[in-house]
Amino acid sequence: YEMAKYYINQSDYTDKITLLKGDASQVLTELTGEYDLVFLDWPKGQYLKQLELILPHVKEGGVILADNVLFRGYVRGDKEPPKRFKTIVKRLQEYLTYVENKELFN
């Protein structure tokens, strides 16, 4: 967050960028307006749930970037995830399947 804030403040776009920080489940319920670009970087197991909350706030033609959806190569790779990552991997697979099959993203 601090690094992003620093670089945004160095740019000519400070008046056009809204940087939000906080627990995603709270921040997303307080959103108003529409956004051209959304960068998802919250707990990986919550991507699909939070995506559904953010979608109404993304402008038509907007861009959604999701951090680390392949999660160390476990989500789409041949590697078997350790037990502690199995739920995260399963939920990220569900997220990617949703995005790939939703007409809105095609």
Token pair of 101, please? 């099959």
Cα distances (angstroms) measured from residue 47 to each of 5, 9, 54: 23, 28, 10
Residues facing residue 58 across a β-bridge:
35
pLDDT digits (tens, 9 = 90+) for 38-88: 888 888 889 998 898 899 999 999 999 999 999 999 999 888 999 999 999
- How much is the pLDDT for 93? 96
Task: Say how many C-beta atoms besides its own lie within 10 A of residue 20's C-beta.
Answer: 13
Go through the domains of the chain in sequence order and give each one's CATH number. 2-105 (3.40.50.150)
Question: pLDDT for 29-48, tens place per residue?
Answer: 888 889 999 888 888 889 99
Cα separation, 40 vs 79, whole angstroms: 24
**Distance in angstroms (rounded) separating the CA atoms of residues 15 and 38:** 16
pLDDT, greater one: 10 or 23 = 10
